[in-house]
């Protein structure tokens, strides 16, 4: 295995760990070690570094796709890293291993709003983002390669916001931000087209 691939994967894992540690719904620490904005800034910096490391081995579009896919995989599994420290004896006899703070009794998760809102808004976001990548980064790429790459790139761009919205306590701020980004992308595509 190429050392750049290994180092890029480690940096991506570190970025995901930092992001999860700063999330308001994280379950590892009783008190968050980082504020959300600080964790987000550090994680984004590490993700850019990981993309640069991967691009020394892959092409830039492949490096971006690798980082996004790795983040999706890691964000789905990282919350469970500390849950299996000891082997489970029986699933039926054990209660939940999740710890809940005092806000649990008054907290309303808004699962339906988060799921439906993020699904509906993140699909156009994925389409417009892949369109922008096509216009700005893949203009000299052969059509058959570009179309395949963009087709597969839509899935991570669609599912990443859909999974990230569940880290937020309130659904409205991320949905509004995603909607604004989607509208800006649409406007840029209309000006460029």
At residue 101 the predicted structure's pLDDT band, cuts being 50, 70 and 90, is low
| HSE-CB of 62 using CA atoms within 13 angstroms | 10
pLDDT of residue 82: 63
User: How open is the CA angle 13-178-24, to the nearest 5 degrees?
Assistant: 50
Separation CA 191–CA 56 (nearest Å):
33
Same domain (yes/no): 53, 114: no
pLDDT of residue 104: 53
**Averaged over 144-171, what is the pLDDT?**
82
Same domain (yes/no): 119, 192: yes
Print the domain residue range for 67: 1-81
pLDDT of residue 88: 47
**Averaged over 149-178, what is the pLDDT?**
84
| Residue 13 counted as domain residue | yes
Same domain (yes/no): 77, 115: no
Q: What is the pLDDT of residues 25-82, one digit of tens each?
A: 777 777 778 888 898 899 999 999 999 999 998 888 888 888 888 888 888 777 766 6
Q: DSSP of 46-94, one letter per residue?
A: HHHHHHHHHHTTS-HHHHHHHHHHHHHHHHHHGGGTTTTSS--S-TTT-
| Residue 92 counted as domain residue | no
Is the C-alpha dihedral spanning 141, 144, 145, 150 positive or negative? positive
Greater pLDDT, 100 or 36? 36
Nearest-10 crossing angle of helices 172-192, 111-137? 30
Separation CA 130–CA 183 (nearest Å):
14
Q: What is the pLDDT of residues 116-128, one digit of tens each?
A: 888 888 889 988 9
Cβ pair 138, 61 in contact under 8 A: yes
pLDDT of residue 188: 92
Which one of 61, 81, 101 terminates a domain? 81
> Structurally, how many domains does the chain consist of?
2
């Amino acid at each position: 295995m190429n050392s750049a691939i290994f180092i890029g994967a480690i940096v991506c894992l570190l970025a995901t760990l930092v992001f999860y540690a700063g999330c308001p719904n994280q379950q590892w620490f009783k008190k968050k070690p980082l504020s959300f904005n600080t964790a987000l800034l550090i994680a984004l910096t590490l993700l850019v570094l990981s993309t640069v490391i991967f691009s020394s081995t892959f092409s830039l579009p492949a490096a971006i796709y690798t980082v996004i896919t790795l983040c999706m995989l890691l964000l789905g599994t990282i919350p469970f890293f500390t849950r299996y420290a000891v082997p489970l004896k029986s699933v039926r006899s054990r209660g939940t291993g999740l710890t809940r703070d005092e806000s649990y009794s008054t907290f309303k998760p808004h699962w339906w709003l988060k799921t439906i809102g993020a699904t509906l808004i993140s699909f156009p976001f994925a389409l417009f983002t892949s369109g922008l990548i096509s216009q700005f980064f893949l203009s000299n790429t052969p059509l058959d390669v570009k179309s395949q790459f963009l087709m597969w790139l839509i899935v991570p761009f669609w599912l990443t916001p859909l999974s990230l919205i569940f880290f937020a306590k309130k659904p409205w701020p991320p949905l509004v931000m995603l909607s604004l980004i989607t509208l800006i992308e649409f406007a840029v595509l209309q000006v460029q087209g």
